[in-house]
Amino acid sequence: MQQLQQTNHATVQSLQVIQATTATATLADPAVPQAQETANVNVTNPTQAPGSFSATATSTVTFCVTPNVHNIDQCMDYTTKDGANLDKLASSPLMTNFDLSAANTLVFIDQLRDRAQEVGWDTGSYQITKYNVAAVGAPATLKDLFIQYGQIPVNTIHAEVMTWKEGGAKANSRSTQNNMAFYKCLKDSLTDEACLWILPHQHEYMDQIGTYLAPLLDKTIMHLTTIDSKATSVVLWETSTILL
DSSP per residue over 171-202, as a string?
A: TTSHHHHHHHHHHHHHHHTB-HHHHHHHGGGG
pLDDT at position 58: 64
**Do both 23 and 135 map to the same domain?**
no
With 0.85 as the threshold, say if the pTM is over it.
no
Separation of alpha carbons 222 and 243, rounded Å: 16
Asked whether residue 16 falls in the same domain as residue 95, the answer is no
* Residue 50 forms part of a structural domain: no
Tell me, what's the pLDDT at 70?
Answer: 74
Nearest to 187 by CA among 205, 172, 209, 173: 205
Write the pLDDT tens digit of every residue in 77-96: 999 999 999 999 999 999 99
Same domain as 40, residue 75: no
Detail the DSSP E strand segments found in the chain.
130-132, 142-144
Range with the poorest average pLDDT among 137-146, 166-175, 181-190, 227-236? 227-236
Domain count, the chain: 2
104 and 202 in a single domain? The answer is yes
Burial class (CB within 10 angstroms; exposed 0-12, middle 13-18, buried 19+) of 158: middle
Q: Where are the alpha helices (DSSP H) in 103-229?
A: 105-119, 154-161, 174-188, 192-198, 214-226
d(CA 161, CA 154): 11
Output the CA angle 209-144-220, nearest 5 degrees: 40
pLDDT digits (tens, 9 = 90+) for 155-186: 999 999 999 988 899 999 999 999 999 999 99
Q: What is the dihedral of CA 244, 113, 222, 193, to 10 degrees?
A: -150
pLDDT tens track for 197-226: 999 999 999 998 999 999 999 999 999 998
Whether residue 87 is found in the same domain as residue 208? yes
As a 3-state breakdown, the chain gives helix, strand, coil percent values, each rounded to 5, of: 60, 5, 40
pLDDT tier for residue 37 given thresholds of 50, 70 and 90: very low
Residue 24 lies in a domain: yes
Give the percent of the chain with pLDDT over 90. Answer: 59
Give the structural domain span for 30. Answer: 2-44
Cβ–Cβ < 8 Å for 131, 143: yes
Query: Do residue 38 and residue 141 come from a single domain?
Result: no
